[in-house]
Every structure is written in structure tokens, then in C-alpha cells.
Homo-oligomer: A and B are copies of this chain.
Amino acid sequence: MLRTHTCGELRIDNVNQQVTLTGWVQRVRDKGSLLWVDLRDRYGITQLFLEEGKTAPELIKAARDCGREFVIKATGIVVERQSKNSKMNTGDIEIRVEHFEIINPSKTPPFTIEDETDGGDDLRMKYRYLDLRRNPVRESLQLRHKMGQQTRQYLDGQNFIEVETPVLIKSTPEGARDFVVPSRMNQGEFYALPQSPQTFKQLLMVSGFDRYYQIVKCFRDEDLRADRQPEFTQIDCEMAFVEQEDILNIFEGLIRHLFKQVKGIDIPEVPRMSYDHAMKYYGSDKPDMRFEMKFVELNDVAKGKGFGIFDDAELVVGICAKGCAGYTRKQVDELTDYVKRPQVGAKGMVYARYNEDGTFKSSVDKFYDQVALKAWADKMNAAPGDLMLLMSGEEEKTRKALSELRLHLGNQLGLRNKNTFAALWVLDFPLFEWDADTQRYHAKHHPFTSPKKEDIPLLDSDPGKVRANAYDLVINGTEIGGGSIRIHDRPTQQLMFKKLGFTDEEAKKQFGFLMDAFEFGAPPHGGIAFGFDRLCSIFGGVDSIRDFIAFPKNNAGRDVMIDSPSTISKEQLDELGIALKPSEK
């Protein structure tokens, strides 16, 4: 090693030792006769000093010549500091330099390598290798490493085997768009990159692997919204001879283990909620349970008072903002503006203040007297000082809009602290969802999810009502995992494909191998997959996943650092037997 120690490990016990350190110059402080250099590496910062008259002049000159981010090697004696810095692990000591060598100079970085940098997003992405030097980014990736370690430790301990499934697989039109890879050896044919190892992990269950996991890259060629990446990582798991309850228990165990080992937090038992309940009372299949603010349905007390908007609505539903009766008119108007934004799409909002003196003041006083408003308050468990907010209209739309308002208020009221964690199982998802565009049912989860036994008769009569053995794990209002008990017999799987509009031929071409496998002794099985990037960002208390990925792509799917994707040569295209289509511009 070019060093004897890292920049993070020297302590008062090392005083008088001769050491050699290497690292990056964080800064040089030049006081004329004394010169300090803060030397940084992954492990910390150690202070070097050189003294006019005591240190050789050429070393002082070399140190003076150092700019930020120069790579240097310094040898010297560890001495106790005169003025200690208790904020630094190495703050008790400094190094009296005896040798000083510039290993590699650095141009001035385009942004500062500090916790808070002056670099904009684009610049930091282009020079990602410099952005990665900043503590918050490096720490995010170290957290990710630890999350991976602890995930493996837990699952290994539960007898899971990590098995690598192939990356070059087969394109299937079901689900999101595949990335494809032209085959040179089989011209005219393509591999696809996996959106998940779903069928392979099911085959591993058929093979008797019993408990499988993999921390694995997956790919989706979707139009990228903010914070979506074309390649992402899953903790992918599957178990045989299990029922839903077993999966919930094992993976609640995983989440609890991670909180304990990585964050030092004992989280309580994870509550469970049906999809229907979540939609009805939170307007979302991934409610943020860090705060309550549950929906209260008010049809019986809000309708029939002559207020046409409510009278004509399918649903009148409200939330109670505790202690917000004192909101100014401007603050309330801002809430109204918020729900009217096109992203939320509501037509308006009704409010009623429950004043501290017990009186009410609402935006619909014309229709509702104090007694009527008291009836609202009673239903909503509102107390003097609270603010009631009501929305109305078509059920599903109204709930969705109110959910947005609920989250917005949660943010405003500081109820969504990033260092507080509330996990939730959402259960009993519908098997299908109706797609208005294609006028057919799609699999809500995926076509391998089993229907609840008691709902099978509904498959023909009312497919939309069939519930699946499917479950999501939600943390802080974000879905971080989802899975299901799978179909494990050919007839049910065939029926499922039929309901999803596959012809027999299509089903066979795309998934024949899986249905064949089900005929050779397939065990009951089920599993779950967690979004690892997102899980890490939640543990890191950060909204964006970007800094939990070493080399992310931008919203156009580009890596601006390496400038990819890029053109390839005509020879490459020819070898692959493909051609570019002439641009239509």
C-alpha cells in the first residue's frame, strides 16, 4: 500500500508514530509561517501541517502549489493538536509533515466537493465521478451496500439461496415495454432484458429450490418520469409450499431486520389493510401511515340541504385538519388552488372551521347552519380548533383528489418526517383492472397471480370483483414491495391468459414453457419483489433515488457522463442484420 493508514483512523494513541497517508486535498490554509492541509479519503479527513523553518522549503512549496482535489502522499509524525476539533474523529491529532509528494495534480473541479455543493444537476451528472466524492452521495452508496449486506444476511439465515437468472431472455408483449437485444447468431431474432425474473423464479420453485432470492438488475423501456430509471434493482424472492401469511411473516421479518441493523430502529408489527379499505379511507393503495387524517364519508349529513354540488355528488367525503381552524383565508385559498391544479383535478373544496369558541364558519354557511355543521364535526371527530375540508363528486376521482390534499396537508403540518417510518401491508388487491383504452381487463399485478379461491366463481360473472392473493408493502406512502401467491397449475394459468385476452397460440408461444413446467409437479408457491433503489432512498431519508445509484441516467435515458446511448458503426449493424429506419423528420 502507498499508505500506512487511512485518513480516518489516527487517534491520540498514535502520537509519535511515523505514518504515511494518501488522499485528496480538501483545502490548504496558508498562514504564512504555518501551512495546514486537510487530507481526505473515504474514511475521513486528517490534518497535515508544515512549518516555515522546520519543514524543508521545497515541501512547503509543494504544499503551497496544491489545489483542491490534488492527490498527495505525505509522511510525517503524529502529534497532538494544540486546538482539538471534537467534531472530527481525527480531531485530536495532526501530522507534522516530513515528506510530501504530489501524486497527481487536479484541475479545478467544476463544482465544490462539499456536503452542499454549488454544482447544478446537469454538471454533477456530467462529472459524476466528482459528485461521488461528496459525502452525502458516497454515504448514500455506502448505505446501499449495507442494505444489500443485511438483506443477504437475513435471507441466507432463512435458508434462501441466491440464484442468478439470465439477463438475455425473451420478449413478451404483456406488461411494460422491453429493451431488446438483436442476436447476431440468430439473425432476425432478439433477446429481451428482463423486467423481472418472474418466470425464472417460478421455475426454480418447480425445480424444488424451495427458497430463492436475488438482488438483481431489471429493465423497463418506459418513458421516464422524474425518478424512474430504465435499469433498476430488485430484491426478488420466491418460496414454495407457502400461503400468503408465510410470505407476510418472512418479509416483515426482513424489513424489521433492516430497520434494526441499518437504522437501529425497532419498528412495531406492520399493520395490515385491505385494498378496499385503503381506497375508501385514504384514497390510495399506498397510504402514508405516518399520520392518520382518515377520510370520513359524509353523504348522510351533507346531502339534502339544498347545496346542489353535494346533492348531485356520488360521494361527499372529508378530512379533519387538527388545529387548523386558524388558517387564514389565504391559506385556505391555497389549499383550494392546490386541489384545482390539473395534477389533482378537483373542481373545488368546501371548508368549515370549528372555532375555538365552539362556533362554525364554513364556505357553505348559506346551506348549512350551526347544527348541520356540528353534525359534520361529530362524524369527523373534529374538536374546536380544527378545520374540516370536504370534497365531492364521483367516488373514485374524489377519493384520489382528497388523497392528494391529505398528503399535501401532511407535508404542510410536518406530519411526514423523513426520519419517521410507518410500514403497512396492503392486501386483497383486485386481480384485474379495466383498461378503458384497450377495452379489456389487464392483470393488476401480473398474469401469474392467483385469484382468491372463494372469488373464482366471479371470474366469469364479474371479473372486476375478483380479489387476488396479492400484497404490497408500503412504507411512508411509497410502495416498496409487492408480490402474490402464484398460480401453479396449467388449467388455471390457461384460464387466466384467456381472461386477459391471449389466444391459446399466443399464450403457448410466450409462456408455454411455464405451463408445461406446471404439469411436472409444481408446488404451491409465492413471492415478493422489493424496489431496492427506492428502499434505500427511504432508509436514507431522501426523496430521490438518484444518489442511491452510482451512475444513474437522466430523464431522457442518457448517461451524460459517458455520452450513451451513442451511434454504432455500419459494420456492427450489418453483422446484426439490422438497419436504421430513415428518420421521418
Contact = CB atoms under 8 A, between A and B. Distances in A.
B129 A206 contact: yes
- Shortest beta-carbon contacts, A-B, top 10: A106-B521, A132-B207, A170-B564, A189-B565, A69-B521, A183-B565, A2-B241, A129-B203, A42-B210, A22-B241
A40 B521 CA distance: 12
A463 interface: no
Nearest to A548: B164
Contacts of A171: 566, 568, 572
12 contacts: A42-B208, A69-B520, A104-B521, A104-B523, A104-B524, A129-B517, A144-B163, A167-B217, A180-B182, A181-B565, A183-B557, A577-B583
Contact of A166 (B3, B23, B559): B559
A41 to B, nearest CB: 6
Interface residues of A, number: 123
A127 interface: yes
A556 interface: yes
A446 interface: no
Contacts of A558: 186
Contacts of A127: 520
A463 to B, nearest CB: 25
A555 to B, nearest CB: 9
Given A1-B246, A568-B171, A103 B219 contact: no
A86 to B, nearest CB: 25
Contacts of A557: 183, 185-186
A429 to B, nearest CB: 23
A172 B112 CA distance: 32
B132 A568 contact: no
Contacts of A22: 241, 523
Interface of A: 1-3, 6, 22-24, 40-43, 69-71, 103-107, 109, 127-130, 132-133, 138, 141-142, 144-145, 148-149, 152, 156, 161-171, 173, 177-193, 199-200, 203-204, 206-210, 217, 219, 221, 223-224, 230-231, 233, 241-243, 246, 488-489, 513, 517-524, 549-551, 553, 556-559, 561-569, 572, 574-581, 583
Contacts of A559: 166, 168-170
A189 B580 CA distance: 9
| Most chain B C-beta atoms within 10 Å of own C-beta, residue among A23, A164, A517 | A164
Contacts of A563: 170, 513
A152 B153 CA distance: 11
| Most chain B C-beta atoms within 10 Å of own C-beta, residue among A161, A168, A177, A178 | A168
Contacts of A152: 149, 152
Contacts of A2: 241-243, 524
A124 B188 CA distance: 27
Given A104-B523, A207-B132, A180 B183 contact: no
Contacts of A169: 559, 562, 564
